[in-house]
């Protein structure tokens, strides 16, 4: 049918011409008045002997011309090449770019979802072999152990290049499984802030899960809070420095990262102190990742340290950036009082540090909360303001708690007027181990 249509158009486009070609989408036809096929294999017949030779050679056949279906305009091969080659190149470039983008998107999605059992999606250069870890710690010798907890042990080590590191060796009985381990590696490897601990490497071989951090010589904050002798090293200026540094580290997690990170386990033992007593937030095994436009979520797996948990998380599994704000408020009260919330028992009317601080505030005597080792080295108004900020951070309703950006502004500027804190609701555990919510009067 296509060829028949081509033939039917020859009279209208090529009548009286020596040759031509008609194109259709699925076929084309060409004709000439001289043989244009198999010329090399079939030489022209020789003229008869009595024929008179021509006075001049016949002119060569005219070059083939291409016509459109209307027959009014000739299209040369050069025109076709000039128009089709650039279009073909553009098509190839677009196709290649599309394939590349699809491939990268697929690789990113696989890395983000982390579907591969024991795979750890981090920069390969961070992975260390187990033999180098064993050599750095003298086979995890007791002399190199600098800390121990429910997660496992921490050892001081020296890498082959002479760099001192802190090596966290997770125990099999730790609450941090492979999923939390992979989570911590992927998170901390991307975090860069002076108030966040730096991850230098990791190892996952022979059932071992090991994290290699920068070495922080002054251990953790709870090391100072629990030791009466060490408490005296923390004067009021030093405690203000630590409170402000923790706030900046949290703000970096909540606002300055490409993804919003909720720590979910902020506590004194997870705040390390460097040689200048600058605080560094550590241990991101329980952290939650949210999108930049997401600030809350829910989980049925409630993990963390109970004495730092906000009521909505302990009772219902609801977490948000305001969960970290609550834990931060608990930390401020611990730093000011020199006491741990988990081991505080003042009286039958104050079963934890938070309710005790609220009763003192309500009675107009907040400075009675102050650590006695501080003496008179503090400014009364400044310390009272810090207690005020802490009470705002531990409000029952997350909406009543300030953001970390607002907290930093409150800490640095006395011109910012603070709202009055509402009476607190605090969580406690019954003798059966169940959580309950109580309201401080």
Give the residue numbers marked as catalytic: 265
Question: For residue 383, which of 341, 422, 332 has the smallest C-alpha distance?
Answer: 332
Structure tokens at 398: 């997350």
Q: How far apart are the first and last CA of the chain?
A: 95
Question: For residue 198, which of 176, 222, 214, 216 has the smallest C-alpha distance?
Answer: 214
Angle at 283 (CA atoms; ends 282, 289), nearest 5 degrees: 105
Per DSSP, 217 falls in state T
DSSP SS3 for 231: helix
CA–CA separation, 260 and 291 (whole Å): 6
DSSP SS3 for 298: strand
CA–CA separation, 25 and 297 (whole Å): 58
Q: How many CB atoms lie within 10 A of CB 226?
A: 16
- Give Cα separations from 82 to 25, 73, 75, 87, 92 (angstroms): 20, 17, 11, 9, 16
318: left (phi over 0), alpha (psi -120 to 50) or beta: beta
Cβ burial 115-124 (10 Å sphere, 16+ → b, else e) = eeeeebbbee
Element (H, E) at 185: helix 178-188
């Amino acid at each position: 049918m296509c060829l028949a249509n081509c033939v039917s158009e020859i009279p209208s486009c090529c009548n009286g011409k020596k040759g031509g070609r008609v194109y259709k989408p699925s076929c084309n036809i060409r004709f000439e008045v001289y043989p244009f096929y198999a010329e090399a294999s079939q030489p022209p017949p020789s003229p008869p002997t009595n024929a008179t030779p021509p006075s001049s050679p016949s002119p060569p056949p005219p070059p083939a011309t291409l016509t459109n279906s209307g027959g009014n305009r000739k299209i040369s091969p050069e025109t076709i090449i000039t128009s089709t080659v650039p279009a073909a190149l553009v098509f190839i470039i677009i196709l290649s770019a599309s394939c590349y983008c699809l491939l990268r998107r697929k690789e990113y999605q696989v890395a983000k979802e982390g579907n591969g059992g024991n795979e750890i999606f981090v920069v390969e250069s961070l992975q260390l072999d187990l033999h180098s870890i064993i050599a750095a710690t003298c086979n995890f010798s007791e002399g190199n152990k600098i800390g121990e907890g429910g997660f496992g042990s921490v050892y001081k080590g020296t890498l082959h290049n002479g760099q001192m590191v802190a090596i966290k060796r997770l125990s099999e009985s730790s609450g941090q499984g492979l999923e939390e381990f992979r989570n911590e590696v992927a998170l901390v490897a991307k975090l860069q802030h002076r108030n966040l601990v730096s991850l230098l490497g990791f190892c996952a071989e022979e059932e071992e899960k090991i994290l290699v951090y920068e070495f922080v010589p002054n251990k953790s904050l709870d090391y100072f809070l629990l030791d009466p002798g060490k408490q005296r090293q923390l004067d009021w200026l030093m405690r203000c420095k630590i409170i402000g540094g923790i706030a900046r580290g949290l703000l970096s997690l909540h606002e300055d990262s490409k993804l919003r990170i909720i720590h979910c386990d902020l506590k004194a033992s997870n705040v390390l102190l460097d040689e200048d007593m600058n605080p560094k937030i550590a241990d991101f095994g329980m952290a939650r990742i949210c999108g930049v436009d997401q600030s809350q979520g829910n989980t049925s797996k409630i993990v963390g340290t109970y004495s730092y948990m906000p009521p909505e998380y302990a009772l219902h599994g609801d977490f948000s950036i305001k969960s970290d704000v609550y834990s931060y408020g608990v930390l401020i009260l611990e730093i000011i009082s020199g006491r741990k919330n988990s081991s505080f028992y003042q009286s039958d009317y104050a079963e934890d540090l938070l309710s005790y601080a609220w009763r003192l505030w309500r009675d107009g005597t907040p400075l009675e909360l102050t650590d006695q080792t501080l003496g008179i080295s503090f400014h009364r108004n400044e310390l009272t303001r810090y207690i005020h900020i802490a009470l705002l951070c531990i409000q029952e309703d997350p909406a009543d708690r300030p953001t970390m950006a607002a907290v930093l502004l409150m800490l640095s500027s006395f011109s910012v007027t603070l709202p009055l804190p509402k009476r607190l609701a605090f969580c406690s555990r019954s003798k059966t181990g169940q959580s309950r919510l109580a309201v401080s009067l």
